[in-house]
DNA sequence: CATGAATGAGCATTCATTCAT
DNA sequence: TATGAATGAATGCTCATTCAT
C-alpha cells in the first residue's frame, strides 16, 4: 500500500516541477529556525539551489509561497485526519480523536503550527487565499461531527454548534500556543486528556 | 495626593524633554496595531512629530527605544504592585493579589504585555539591558513572598521555591498569551480564580 | 597578437556582466578626483548608470568594491611585470627593471597608486582580502630575485634578503608618495636611476 | 623668563575663554589617533567636556576649528623659528637651521604635520583662510633668506629664488611625508644632513 | 559664557520583485 | 523549465549645524 505512517502520498506530488519542490522545501527548512519575515527570497533561492526569479514563476509573491507551504501541511493533515477518524463510532469519540490528531500535528510539525498560528493570522491576504478554504473545510468537518453528536443526543442541543466548535478549536490553540512560541514540549496525550475533560464536561449531554 | 488610580506620578517624568516623550508615546501608539519589526523609524518620527535623528539623540537604537518603553511600563507596574500588596497578610493572599495584579496589567495594557511576551524575548540584547533587571527584581519579589510562605508554614517546603515561582509565572503567561496574541478579552478575575485554584492546590501546605 | 602595450587582455574580462564593469569603471573615474571615503555609493551608481542595489549584487560592500578595483590593477601589473622581466639576465638587472616597472605603473596609474598607498593601508579588512594575496605574491617575486642574486654572488649575503626587500619596496614608496599625494609629476627614469644608485651601492657584492 | 624650551608663551592664550581652549585641545588629542574626517563634532564636544553648540560659538564650522588648531601650531612654530635663527650668520647657515627646525617640528608634532600635509591641502577653503597667510608669511621668510644669500653672493644668482624656495620646501615635505603617513620615526639630524648635502650642492655659489 | 533641544540632508545597505532570454 | 541582470523603494542610522534661552 502506498502509505507512510498511515499518510497517503499525494499522487500529484510526483509531477510537480523539481524547482518548485526545492523552493517549498527550502522555505520549510528555513522556517524551522527563523521567522518568515526574517527569511529573504535570496536565502530561499540559495537554500533551494535555484534563482530568485524562479520563485516568482511558481508563486505570485513571497506570502503566496508561504500559503502554498501551509497548504501542503493542511492537505497532509486532511488526509491524515480522514484516516484517523476511520472506524470510530460516536461523535464524542470522534471529537476526542480529532483533538488528539490536531494537537499531535502541532506537536510534530512546529513549522506548520507556527505558520498557522503566528505567521498568516494577521495578514488579510491569507483570508482571501485558496489555502484558507482548506481551513474552512476542516472547520466544517468539526461542525458536522458536532451536529452528528447533537442529532444522536450525545451532545447538548442548547448550545449553538458553532459556539461549541469555537470553544474546541480555541482551546486547542490556547494550550498549544505557548509551547509553540516558546519552543516548549507539547504532549498530545496529556493535553488531549486535560482538554477533553474540560470540554466534554461542558458539552456532553447528561442523559435524563 | 499626587496619584492616579493609586499610581504615583513619577516626578522625573515631567522634566524629560518633550521630544523624548513624544517618541516613546508614538511607539506605544503604533504598537497597538503593528508589531515592532513592522514599525519603521520614519513612522515613529512622523507620529511623534519629530525628526528621525532625534530618536537617536535619546536612544542608542530602535531596540533601545523599545526597551525604554518597556521600562516605563515595568516601573509603573512595580509601583502599582507595591501599592497593591500593602496591608495584605499571609503569603498565599499576597500571591493571589500579585497574580491578579499581573494578569490585570496585561489585560489593561496589551502593548506592555506584547512587548514583554513576544517582542523582546528572543533578542539577546534584552537580557543585557537595564530593563531586564527590573524583571529580575520583580522575579525576586515573587520569590521572597514564596519564601515567606514557606517560613510561615503556609506553603509546602518540599518543592524548591524557584520551581514554585517558575510554575506561577509560567502559568500566568500561558493563560494570557493567546488572549494577547489574538486580541481576545482577558478577564483578570476569572483567570486569577482558575489559576489560583490550580496552583494553590499544588503548593499549599496541608496542615497536619 | 591580442595585446596592448604588451599587456594581454584578460579573456574573462569580456564575460563579466556589463553592470559590474560599469561600476568598477565608475569608481576608477571618481577616484581620479576624490578620495574613496568622500565618494558615495549613490555617486558611483549614478556615474555607472546603474542603481545602487546593483553594487551590492556584485560586491559585498563598498570597500569590497575598492578591493576588486585594486585587484584589477594588481593583476594587470602582475602580467605586465612578467612580460617586462622576460629575457633579462642577472638579479641586479632584474631588480632594476622591476623598480622601473613599479615606479612606472605608479606614474601612469595614479588611481592604482593612491588606492594602494593611502586608501587600503589603514584598514584591517584589506589584509584579510584575496587582493592582499596578490601583493604578497608580488612581494615573493621580489624576494626570489634577491635570493637568486645572493646565490649567484651578485648580491651580498650578509644582509637578510627580507631586509633588502623591505629596503627596496620602502624606497619606492618613499620616492613616489609625495608625487602621488600632491599630484606632482613622477619620472620613472630619473627616480629609478637615483634609487638604484642608492640601493645597489649598499647591496651589491664587491668582488674580492 | 616667560619661556618653555625657548618657546614664548603667547600672552593672549591666557585670556581665551576656557571653553574655546578645551575644544581646540580636544581636537588636537583626537587627531593623534584619528583622521579629521573620522572625528565627529559630538566626539570633540564630549572630549572637551562642552556641548556641540559651543563649537559653533567660537568657530564658524568644523573645518574652521581645524584651521584654528593649525594656526596655533603655526604661530608657535613662527615664534620658535624666530628664536632659532637668532644670532646665526650667513644665509646658508640660516637655511640649514631653518630646515632642521622645520623637520624637527614635524618630527615632534605629528598632529601639526598631518594637518598641514594631508588634512587641509585638498580643501580650497584653506587657501582662503587667515591661517594660510601664516604659511605665506613663513614662505616669505624663507624667500628673504634666499635673497639675502644671493645678495651676499653665498647663493647662485642664476636660479630664480622662488624656484629655490620651492625646491627646499618640497624636499622637506618629501622626506617627511612617508614618515608622517606611515607613522615611522623621523630623525631631524639625519634628514637635515642628507637634505642639505643635496640642496646646497645645487644652489651654493662656487666661488671663482 | 554656555547649553538643551531639535533638525535636514545624506549615508551604506537591504529586499522583494521584474523581465528578456 | 529556468536563469542572469537589474531595479525601486525603503531601512536604520549619522552628523554637522542651528537657535532659543
pLDDT at position A34: 93
Contact flag for B and C (3+ C-beta pairs < 8 Å): no
User: With 0-12 CB in 10 A as exposed, 13-18 as middle and 19+ as buried, what is C4?
Assistant: exposed
CATH architecture of the domain with range C61-203? Orthogonal Bundle (1.10)
Distance between CA C49 and CA C20 in Å, rounded? 11
B66-87 pLDDT, tens per residue?
A: 999 999 999 999 999 999 999 9
Distance between CA B53 and CA C102 in Å, rounded? 48
Chains that touch D (3 or more CB pairs under 8 A): C
CA distance B121 to chain A (A): 9
Task: Answer positive or negative: Cα dihedral of C146, C152, C154, C156.
Answer: positive
B125-173 pLDDT, tens per residue?
A: 999 999 999 999 999 999 999 999 999 999 989 889 999 999 999 999 9
Distance between CA D48 and CA D20 in Å, rounded? 9
pLDDT at position B160: 92
Across B110-138, b (16+ Cβ under 10 Å) vs e yields ebbbbbbbbbbeeeeebeebebbebbeeb
Distance between CA C141 and CA C194 in Å, rounded? 22
In what helix (H) or strand (E) does residue C113 lie, and over which residues does it extend?
helix C110-114
Mean pLDDT of A36-51: 97
B87-134 pLDDT, tens per residue?
A: 999 999 999 999 999 999 999 999 999 999 999 988 989 999 999 999
The shortest CB-CB distance from D177 to any of C35, C38, C177 is to C177
CA C127 to chain centre: 15
Q: What is the DSSP string of D44-105?
A: HHHHHTS-HHHHHHH-SSHHHHHHHHHHHHHHHHHHHHHHHHTT--SHHHHHHHHHHHHHHH
CATH architecture of the domain with range C15-58? Orthogonal Bundle (1.10)
pLDDT at position C15: 83
Quickly tell me which residue has 635663527 as its cell. D85
Q: What are the chain A neighbours of B38 within 8 Å (beta carbons)?
A: 37
Mean pLDDT of chain C: 90
Instruction: Report which of residues 93-152 in chain B place their beta carbon less than 7 angstroms from any atom of strand F.
Output: none
pLDDT at position B183: 87
Whether pLDDT at A11 is above 60: no
Nucleotide nearest to C62 (CA to C1'): E12
Kindly determine whether the C-beta of residue B20 is less than 7 Å away from any atom of nucleic acid strand E: yes
Quickly tell me which residue has 625646491 as its cell. D167
Which CATH number does the domain B62-203 belong to among 3.30.530.20, 1.10.150.120, 3.30.465.10, 1.10.357.10?
1.10.357.10
According to DSSP, the residues that pair with C4 across neighbouring strands are C7
CA angle A91, A93, A99 (to 5 degrees): 100
Q: At B15, is the pLDDT very low, low, confident or very high (cuts 50, 70, 90)?
A: confident
According to DSSP, the residues that pair with D118 across neighbouring strands are none
Mean pLDDT of B19-38: 96
List own/partner pairs for D156-164 with CB under 8 A and 24 or more apart. D156/D203, D156/D204, D156/D205, D157/D205, D159/D203, D164/D203
pLDDT at position D6: 46
Chains that touch B (3 or more CB pairs under 8 A): A
| Number of other residues whose CB lies within 10 A of the CB of residue C204 | 15
Indicate the CATH number for domain D17-58.
1.10.10.60
Task: Answer positive or negative: Cα dihedral of C53, C59, C60, C62.
Answer: negative
- Does the beta-carbon distance from A174 to B173 stay under 8 Å? no
Closest CA relative to residue D106, chosen from D141, D62, D74, D152: D74
Residue C74 grid coordinates? 594588481
- Does the beta-carbon distance from B178 to A174 stay under 8 Å? yes
C61-71 pLDDT, tens per residue?
A: 999 999 999 99
Which one of B173, B174, B179, B184 makes the best mutation probe of the A interface by having the most chain A beta carbons within 10 Å? B174
Q: Which residue has the higher pLDDT, D8 or B19?
A: B19
Nucleotide nearest to B51 (CA to C1'): E7
Residue pairs spanning A and B at CB distance below 8 A: 20
Residue B119 grid coordinates? 517582542
Q: At D198, is the pLDDT very low, low, confident or very high (cuts 50, 70, 90)?
A: confident
Q: What is the DSSP letter of A37?
A: G
Mean pLDDT of chain A: 90
Residue pairs spanning C and D at CB distance below 8 A: 21
Which one of A38, A120, A123, A181 makes the best mutation probe of the B interface by having the most chain B beta carbons within 10 Å? A181
- Cα-based distances in Å from C41 to A54, C37, C50: 29, 10, 11
C15-58 and C61-203 have identical folds: no
Q: What are the chain D neighbours of C181 within 8 Å (beta carbons)?
A: 117-118, 177
Question: Do β-strands D7-8 and D3-4 pair in parallel, antiparallel, or remain unpaired?
Answer: antiparallel
Q: At B9, is the pLDDT very low, low, confident or very high (cuts 50, 70, 90)?
A: very low
Q: Are B146 and B199 in contact (CB under 8 A)?
A: no
Closest CA relative to residue D175, chosen from A186, C167, C175: C175
Share of chain C above pLDDT 70, in %: 92
Kindly determine whether the C-beta of residue C46 is less than 7 Å away from any atom of nucleic acid strand F: no
Whether pLDDT at C10 is above 70: no
According to DSSP, the residues that pair with C155 across neighbouring strands are C204
Distance between CA C119 and CA C122 in Å, rounded? 7
Among C151-165, D65-79, D104-118, which stretch is predicted with the lowest mean pLDDT?
A: C151-165
Q: Where are the domains of chain C?
A: 15-58, 61-203
According to DSSP, the residues that pair with B204 across neighbouring strands are B155
Q: What is the DSSP string of A126-141?
A: HHHSHHHHHHHHHHHH
Distance between CA C198 and CA C200 in Å, rounded? 6
Amino acid at each position: 500500500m502506498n502509505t507512510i505512517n498511515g499518510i497517503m502520498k499525494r499522487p500529484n506530488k510526483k509531477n510537480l516541477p523539481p524547482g518548485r519542490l526545492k523552493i517549498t522545501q527550502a522555505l520549510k527548512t528555513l522556517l524551522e529556525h527563523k521567522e518568515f519575515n526574517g527569511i529573504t527570497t535570496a536565502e530561499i533561492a540559495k537554500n533551494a539551489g535555484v534563482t530568485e526569479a524562479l520563485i516568482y514563476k511558481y508563486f505570485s509573491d513571497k506570502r503566496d509561497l508561504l500559503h502554498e507551504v501551509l497548504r501542503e501541511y493542511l492537505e497532509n493533515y486532511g488526509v491524515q485526519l480522514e484516516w484517523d477518524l476511520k472506524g470510530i463510532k460516536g461523535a464524542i469519540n470522534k471529537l476526542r480523536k480529532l483533538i488528539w490528531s490536531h494537537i499531535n500535528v502541532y506537536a510534530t510539525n512546529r513549522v506548520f503550527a507556527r505558520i498557522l498560528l503566528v505567521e498568516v493570522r494577521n495578514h488579510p491576504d491569507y483570508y482571501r487565499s485558496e489555502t484558507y478554504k482548506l481551513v474552512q473545510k476542516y472547520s466544517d468537518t468539526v461542525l458536522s461531527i458536532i451536529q452528528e453528536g447533537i442529532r444522536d443526543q450525545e451532545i447538548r442541543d442548547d448550545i449553538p454548534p458553532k459556539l461549541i466548535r469555537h470553544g474546541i478549536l480555541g482551546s486547542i490553540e490556547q494550550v498549544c500556543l505557548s509551547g509553540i512560541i516558546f519552543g516548549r514540549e507539547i504532549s498530545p496525550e496529556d493535553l488531549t486528556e486535560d482538554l477533553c475533560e474540560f470540554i466534554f464536561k461542558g458539552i456532553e449531554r447528561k442523559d435524563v
